[in-house]
Amino acid sequence: MFGDWNIRIVERMTGRKILGIVAEISRGGVTERTLRNWVTNAALADAARMGRFRLQSRDWVARDLAAKGWPTGEIDTMIAGLSDCPGMVSSLMFGMQGPHHRYVATVQMASAIDHLDNQLVALRSADDLPAFVTALLAAPFLEDAHFIHPEKPDTAEVVRTALADARSWEALAEPLGVLFLNVSLHLLATLDLEFCAHFLPTFAATPVFAALQPRTHSSLTALDNRIPLRRDLFHYPARRLLELVACMRDCTTRGAWPRAVPPPKSMAIWLELAGEPALAGNLVRWRRGRGLTLKQFDAVWDACFSVMAPDSRPAAPIPMLYATALFTELFVKGKRETGDLCFIVPDGTFYQRWWDFQHEKLTTGSGQLRFGSEPWMPGLL
């Protein structure tokens, strides 16, 4: 369900399987094999060990945040908030917050998704298809827009009918796919707005994450089922992210946007000068689709902005990496090297509609999000 979807996002962001991450957090309290047995019901979860694991997890989070310079009070608030999260999606969104900013609307929506997901997982385990469908159709946060197929406007009622008429779990595949896509983009647009209001407060409200969607070189449209051996044909989300970082670095250090996206060699030079030759050597691989992990992105960001004083240097924008991982999971399957690459270039207006919907909702009235007036770089839109 939705939780499984976000587990795959976390695995993309970390470059590791989720059970290995959990085992590491437990600091020896539970092994990866034991966790796998619990998940597959090969063994019952031990209540005492689960209790110790929760305490070890809290300790791990506290130590990690303290190492990042978080105040003690904020650490306690973060841990308490994580403990109250009903599932994977809200935990991930809550964990992206910083000590001085909160993503209230994002976490609220993520919590609603988790509550629905918990209900759906239980009904799927009970093999109760009618109740599963009823729960979906009655979910209070799902609107007609969530049931619209991206390639078929005005199809909300069609998708609802397909759900209501389903007589097998297999028949739910397509309508559930439509829901997953819309819910994911709705949540992402909410995060986009709240993140940018805090991280980029001087700029006008802009759908920044839209720039991270995959693209292809214009020459691809002239081909007849034939893919040429060109290095820059596929513009992966990771490539788009690195280009966005390069433009932001130029804008920060020069006081103005560059006229065009800086070439890859510019970022390679910045990384080399910062003493990170290994990162510079991986730029080409990331641009060609290799996974860019959280640890690597954090290092690239710090190296690019190492020209700034440490106390004025912005922290790595992790929500941008989340958007990159989400777009990759949604639109890029397989690999070109193995001949099974499926590279989808989405219609940009589809994400824009969700961003417009949330922009109107979150910027109306007192106490809502506020933005600046500086224009965002046109070449990134």
Summarised one tens digit per residue, pLDDT across range 161-188 is: 999 999 999 999 999 999 999 999 999 9
SS3 assignment, position 379: helix
Report how far residue 289's alpha carbon sits from residue 311's, in angstroms, rounded to the nearest whole number: 33
- The CA-based angle 254-255-259, given to 5 degrees, is 75
Q: How far is CA 22 from CA 49, 85, 100, 178, 201, in A?
A: 13, 17, 27, 30, 35
Report how far residue 318's alpha carbon sits from residue 18's, in angstroms, rounded to the nearest whole number: 18
Candidates 252, 220, 242, 246; CA nearest to 233 is 220
State CA 142 to chain mean position distance: 20
In one-letter notation, the amino acid at residue 73 is G
User: Which are the contacts of 132, defined by CB distance < 8 A and separation ≥ 6?
Assistant: 120, 123, 124, 172
Do 279 and 290 meet the contact criterion of CB atoms below 8 Å apart?
no
Report how far residue 368's alpha carbon sits from residue 204's, in angstroms, rounded to the nearest whole number: 15
Going from N- to C-terminal start, the domains of the chain cover 1-84, 102-200+357-381, 214-345
Do 334 and 340 meet the contact criterion of CB atoms below 8 Å apart?
yes
Candidates 78, 92, 98, 102; CA nearest to 314 is 98
Report how far residue 19's alpha carbon sits from residue 32's, in angstroms, rounded to the nearest whole number: 6
Residue that has been written with the tokens 């106490």 in this structure: 367
Report how far residue 359's alpha carbon sits from residue 351's, in angstroms, rounded to the nearest whole number: 12
In this prediction, residue 200 carries a pLDDT of 94
SS3 assignment, position 216: strand
Q: How far is CA 29 from CA 49, 65, 88, 146, 211, in A?
A: 7, 21, 21, 41, 42
Do 216 and 233 meet the contact criterion of CB atoms below 8 Å apart?
yes
Do 369 and 362 meet the contact criterion of CB atoms below 8 Å apart?
yes
In this prediction, residue 373 carries a pLDDT of 96
Report how far residue 65's alpha carbon sits from residue 329's, in angstroms, rounded to the nearest whole number: 28
List, for the chain, all residue ranges whose pLDDT scores fall below the cut of 70: 25-53, 219-231, 366-367
- The CA-based angle 198-200-203, given to 5 degrees, is 125
In this prediction, residue 224 carries a pLDDT of 46
Do 375 and 208 meet the contact criterion of CB atoms below 8 Å apart?
no
